[in-house]
Amino acid sequence: MAKKQFKIGEYAIGGIISINITGKVIQVKALDYFTKKEISSSTELSTDEEARRKLDEYLNYLTSYYYAEKILEWVESKITLK
């Protein structure tokens, strides 16, 4: 199990992107910077054929390309995506 919060600020919807990896499940949440309330979320399975593309697309929706790539690098260091 791996968990990390990326406090990006004004470059992300809500300001915080939280990643929680449990087994083969990857959960991504956009949280409000001040209240920590969930604004948006997505869940993917690492065994899904298009898991990387779906995560990349969702992260690019939440934040800039630069931060989306940094988050994906961290996710791929913890779990293997197809």
SS3 for the chain is CEEEEEECHHHECCEEEEEEEECCEEEEEEEECCCCCEEEEEEEECCCCCHHHHHHHHHHHHECHHHHHHHHHHHHHHCCCC
For residues 17 and 39, is the Cβ–Cβ distance under 8 A?
no
- Is the pTM above the cut of 0.85? yes
* Identity of the residue numbered 6: F
- Coil, strand or helix at 39: strand
Query: Which CATH number do you get for residue 24?
Result: 3.30.67
- The per-residue pLDDT for 28 is 97
pLDDT in tens for each of the 82 residues of the chain? 899 999 999 999 999 999 999 999 999 999 999 999 999 999 999 888 899 999 999 999 999 999 999 999 999 999 988 7
Look at the chain and report how many structural domains it folds into.
1
- The per-residue pLDDT for 81 is 83
Q: Where in the sequence is the domain holding 34, given as residue range(s)?
A: 2-78
- The per-residue pLDDT for 71 is 96
